[in-house]
Amino acid sequence: MLETIINDVAGIFRATFLTGDWIALIIAFGSVLVASLVMKRGTQIGSMTLLALVLFAIGGFLRGYFRGVPAEGASSGDRAVVQLESSWVNFMNLQAGHLLAYFIAFMFLIFILYGMRSVLGR
């Protein structure tokens, strides 16, 4: 079971932070950077990881919203609703192991950036 979790975390880490397109990388690193800069104490790692994941989800939603070409006669509200529904379906289809892997991968990077900021700030 532990090996499965470690493999999931490694796969999510590679898929999110080491491969993919540049926009997804910018969204992921930006959300991690914002969370690590907002973090005041090391005990806030859990809540800052949740913040980074929410920022990552919002960034993905906005990317999908602005990437799509509007259909003829469709308003921007219709596009937002369609994108929100597809994002919600993707979230609901996410397995718990993958969600945990995202949490651990983001937590690891936030911890590294916060540690570097603490060391350099002294």
Residue-number span of the structural domain to which 59 is assigned:
2-120
As for how many domains the chain has, the answer is: 1
Residue with tokens 């994108």: 83
pLDDT tens for the chain, 122 residues: list them.
788 878 888 888 788 777 767 888 899 899 999 999 999 988 899 999 999 999 999 998 888 888 766 666 667 677 778 888 888 888 888 788 788 888 988 999 999 999 999 899 87
The pTM (predicted TM-score) of the whole model is 0.81
- What DSSP character marks residue 114? H
Residue with tokens 């979230």: 91
Report in angstroms the alpha-carbon separations of 60 from 66, 87, 88, 117: 10, 8, 12, 27
Residue with tokens 């936030």: 110
